[in-house]
A and B are shown apart, each in its own frame.
Chain A
Amino acid sequence: MKSILKFGISALICLFFTLLLNNPVPGTQIPPLGKILNPFTGFWKNGEQNTVEPETVYLENSHLTEKVKIIFDRRRVPHIFAANTEDALFAQGYLLAQHRLWQMDISTRSASGRLSEIMGTKTLERDQLQRRRGMVFAAENAVNRWKTSPEFSFIEAYTNGVNAFIEQLQPADYPIEFKLLNYQPEPWTPLKTALFNKAMAEMLSRANEDIEMTNVRELLGDAVTADLYPQLYPGESPIIPNEVAFDFTPVDLPEKNPPFIGLIEHKVYRKPPPNLGSNNWAVSGSKTASGYPILCNDPHLGLTLPSIWFELQINTPNSNVYGVCLPGVPGIVIGFNETSAWGVTNVGHDVVDWYKIRWTDAKKEKYIVDGQEKSAELKIEAYEVKGQGTVYDTVRYTHWGPVVHQQPEKLDQDLAMRWVAHNSAGNELKTFHGLNTNKSYADYRAAITNFASPAQNIVYANKQGDIGITVQGQLPIRSVEQGMVVQSGESAAAGWKGFIPMDQLPHVKNPARGFVSSANQRSTGTAYPYPYLSMHGGFEAYRGRTLNRKLDTMEQITVTDMQNLQTDVYGLKAAEALPGMLALVDETKLSELEKKYFDLLKNWDYQYERKASGPILFNSWYTLFYKKTWDEIYALAEDNEVSFPRSRRTITLLNEVPDHDFFDIQETKDTKETAKDIAQLSFTEMAGKVASWETDGKQLEWSDYKKLSINHIGFIPAFSRSDLEVEGDPKTLNAIGRTWGPSWRMIVAFGPGKPKAYGIYPGGQSGNPGSPNYDNMLEDWAEGKYYELELMDRE
């Protein structure tokens, strides 16, 4: 009896520990430790060896017409040599899965609202929002369109490549994140490629301030709104130079300014960071030392590990192209081939509108448009929540789009979202295949007309000497200021009047000034017949003007000049604000310490360099100045979602209208402050803050003050990098924020032979945190270095 008892207790303890170590500890972040730690299938298998030496491998598979040769160079960049496009894209899919499988899985899961399947209830709300936003709806629409085009075989080849890699994978080889989160990779599908594209569209084209601007207009009235929130700023330097004539007959514009419709009570959902943007430009041979064009591009995105980009070369008998691709999308997005190069920046045009729905009853199945009842399409969404079972939710699709903001107890407050990306008419496969294989300017123009969303400023240059830029995408036709605010969904006339015809989109080829460029600013001047509505009310205000001014004066340009321009840290915002702010300060009232800071600022050359103290002083001062100036708006923001005036406007007011009513501080009832008082008060406050930073033993140096973090996509600190010392500022050409910045820098210089190209991105080719190639390019990137990009020949 005693021996049975001993056995029983021992067996129970044994079973308990086995189960404990085979499962995540409930209610904690602790992963299944036995699975993770064991040296045969756990994390110990995620090491990588010898991946810094060049190697050649051959890919064989029944889907391939011939075996594919892949040469990995020292930075683990694969150079694919294939018999045809399908074989090459199969190899691309295979390689992306090999290097970035978890990234591909998690980004498409996130887009389709399926995170809760692996994370549990904590991500359910986020998942539901993604479905309500119609992300899957949008991706399904895209796949249906792709299916009718001959290029669908590209997606199929790519999908087969990804799946060929997944099929041969043993649990021991799963990327570490699958092990930590305790789930398995699932097969790739064309829908996932579409989801990745829609996630990009979400990041780049969902921004708008309709709710905030509706409230601003309701609370402040039309006149003040026009004063503080202008749509057009003086001295803009649009993408298409003002001398370009638009000789076409525009589609008739609807003439209707949107009526006031009352305050919107909905909370605004978290938006993509407002400063995401990019630079691109091309200079013609007339401005370069070599006499051949040079093209440059640096897209500024949220910086993550692994990086959003993967570098590769694709060589087939028909084309030879090098550049970066997105993990999940076939082809090369930004790159060059033997004759041409292209790059992209985001178009700032607002492509989202909101419509207030009036439901007929509490069931919310029918709504009113032009006095008639219309039926909404009800879609039941199911979520397989880990640890909880299936949760259901209904998404209502109206004439305008899906209902995203809902107020269950009210019949007239729900907001439906009209978004170009839901059913854009383009075919991205055709675009990128066309760009990858293009040989002439005409090829470039033909390829990009298939591109709809997210709209991009596509810059181009070729060996023949042509340069050009096109504001490419599906852009809605609206009347002036339509879509700036939420509109009533009860009138069909509030809808878009179609899209700007593709052949009327802003475009310029070989302009007299010898360069084309974009930095997310306005597409055109006012001569363009269709109104421009900025998705960020005035973004972008500084990089575009800086870039065009610098390019205007440059001659005999070399690759080094272009590298210096991409990493330029001149702060135009500081240059425009600081002299005026300093002039407002009464120096006689400053303490000794304040005087020291004052002099440092007076002598600062507006360069956001590592060692400079000016950036710390100016940025801190400006932030406080801004907050004190717009105290009235901050007060409104306590109860309402409202937009804030832009820096451009703030700086114009401090320079030109220092006694503007809004400089008055609301709290002080008896006195009326002016910009002078605001400057003095905020200067003193800034001095106090900076002094306490200094007494903490820190250096008064920009790179010490501003640290860049590049987080792992799953926010695992041990797989992330923080405290990177960098220079630059969101408003400088080298636009580095605290968590985002130039995600790929590329320079392509043409010449009589093959183009010479240079590039770098902040990360590494491998998505495996156990690989030496996970973050090997980071330090060089932070220092502004470049690698030579080799367009290898076929043997």
Chain B
Amino acid sequence: MKVILGIIGMIVAGLLAAQFLPWWNIVVICFIAGAILNMDGWKSFLCGLVAIFLLWGLSAGWSFHHGSYIIANRMGSLLGNVGGVALMFITGLVGGLLGGLGSMTGGFFRRIF
């Protein structure tokens, strides 16, 4: 339950923050979330990863469906011959990696005290 709430919390906070803050806000949000959730390293990492993977991947997917498929295909071939759909996954993974690192660091931070 805590995990699901944590993930939802990170997604909602990330969605809101994206309207005002630079892209790396996800690291800060996940750090805070990680500190609040207070979980083991790997578990904490996975929470952040899943949350931001979903946030970025689904947002990219939404854009893809609403007119961004042309630019996604072009960017895919620019960044290394991948298709637009694959680029959605890559987008999710890159965001997820940072989210995970953020929440893991947050978790470790909490454990200091």
| Minimum C-beta distance from A483 to chain B (A) | 46
Which B residues are CB-close (under 8 A) to A11? 105, 108-109
Interface size class of chain A, counting residues whose CB lies under 8 Å from the partner chain:
35 or more
- The reply to whether B75 and A718 form a contact with Cβ atoms under 8 Å apart is yes
- The reply to whether A44 and B101 form a contact with Cβ atoms under 8 Å apart is no
- Choose, from A31-39, A341-349, A620-628, the stretch at the interface: A31-39
The answer for the CA separation of A13 and B101 in the assembled complex, in Å, is 8
The interface on chain B, measured as residues whose beta carbon lies within 8 A of the other chain's beta carbons, has a size of 40
- The reply to whether B91 and A45 form a contact with Cβ atoms under 8 Å apart is no
Which B residues are CB-close (under 8 A) to A225? none
- The reply to whether A21 and B71 form a contact with Cβ atoms under 8 Å apart is no
The answer for the CA separation of A40 and B67 in the assembled complex, in Å, is 14
| Minimum C-beta distance from B24 to chain A (A) | 5
- The reply to whether A4 and B63 form a contact with Cβ atoms under 8 Å apart is no
Which A residues are CB-close (under 8 A) to B108? 3, 6-7, 10-11
* Proximity string of chain A (1-22) to chain B, C-beta cutoff 8 Å, 1 when within and 0 when not: 0011011001101100110011
Q: Is A165 an interface residue (CB 8 A)?
A: no
Which B residues are CB-close (under 8 A) to A38? 18, 23, 56, 91, 95
Q: What are 26 of the A-B contact pairs (CB < 8 Å)? A: A7-B111, A11-B108, A14-B27, A14-B102, A14-B105, A17-B97, A17-B98, A17-B101, A21-B94, A22-B24, A35-B23, A39-B56, A41-B23, A43-B75, A44-B64, A44-B72, A47-B69, A49-B67, A176-B75, A716-B78, A718-B75, A768-B71, A769-B74, A770-B70, A770-B71, A771-B70
Q: Which of A34, A46, A50 contacts B68 (CB 8 A)?
A: A46
Q: Is B66 an interface residue (CB 8 A)?
A: yes
Q: Which residues of A contact B (CB under 8 A)?
A: 3-4, 6-7, 10-11, 13-14, 17-18, 21-22, 33-50, 176, 716-719, 768-772, 774
The answer for the CA separation of A6 and B77 in the assembled complex, in Å, is 39
Listed from nearest, the 5 A-B pairs whose CB atoms lie closest are A770-B71, A47-B68, A49-B67, A39-B59, A718-B78
* Proximity string of chain B (3-37) to chain A, C-beta cutoff 8 Å, 1 when within and 0 when not: 00000000000000011001110010001000000
- The reply to whether A718 and B77 form a contact with Cβ atoms under 8 Å apart is yes
Q: Which residues of B contact A (CB under 8 A)?
A: 18-19, 22-24, 27, 31, 41, 56, 59-60, 62-64, 66-72, 74-75, 77-78, 87, 90-91, 94-95, 97-98, 101-102, 104-105, 108-109, 111-112
Q: Nearest residue in A to B68 (C-beta to C-beta)?
A: A47
The answer for the CA separation of A11 and B110 in the assembled complex, in Å, is 13
Chain B contact residues: helix, strand, loop or mixed? helix
- The reply to whether B101 and A10 form a contact with Cβ atoms under 8 Å apart is yes
Q: Check A48/B67 contact, CB under 8 A, given A18-B27, A40-B23.
A: yes
Which B residues are CB-close (under 8 A) to A3? 108, 111-112
Given contacts A34-B23, A38-B56, 15 further A-B contacts (CB under 8 A): A7-B109, A11-B108, A11-B109, A18-B24, A21-B98, A38-B95, A39-B56, A40-B19, A41-B23, A44-B71, A47-B63, A48-B67, A717-B77, A718-B74, A718-B78
Which A residues are CB-close (under 8 A) to B66? 47, 49
- The reply to whether A37 and B91 form a contact with Cβ atoms under 8 Å apart is yes
- The reply to whether A41 and B74 form a contact with Cβ atoms under 8 Å apart is no
Q: Check A7/B27 contact, CB under 8 A, given A38-B56, A716-B78, A769-B74.
A: no
Query: Of residues A3, A17, A44, which shows the largest number of chain B Cβ atoms within 10 Å of its Cβ?
Result: A44
| Minimum C-beta distance from B52 to chain A (A) | 10
Q: Which of B71, B91, B105 contacts A47 (CB 8 A)?
A: B71
| Minimum C-beta distance from A352 to chain B (A) | 39
Which A residues are CB-close (under 8 A) to B62? 39
The answer for the CA separation of A14 and B41 in the assembled complex, in Å, is 13
- The reply to whether B68 and A44 form a contact with Cβ atoms under 8 Å apart is yes
Q: Check A10/B56 contact, CB under 8 A, given A45-B63, A46-B68.
A: no
| Minimum C-beta distance from A99 to chain B (A) | 15
Which B residues are CB-close (under 8 A) to A43? 68, 71-72, 75
Q: Nearest residue in A to B78 (C-beta to C-beta)?
A: A718
Q: Nearest residue in B to A42 (C-beta to C-beta)?
A: B23
Which A residues are CB-close (under 8 A) to B101? 10, 13-14, 17
Query: Of residues A39, A47, A772, which shows the largest number of chain B Cβ atoms within 10 Å of its Cβ?
Result: A39
Which A residues are CB-close (under 8 A) to B70? 47-48, 769-772, 774
Q: Nearest residue in B to A12 (C-beta to C-beta)?
A: B105
Which B residues are CB-close (under 8 A) to A42? 23, 91
The answer for the CA separation of A540 and B99 in the assembled complex, in Å, is 63
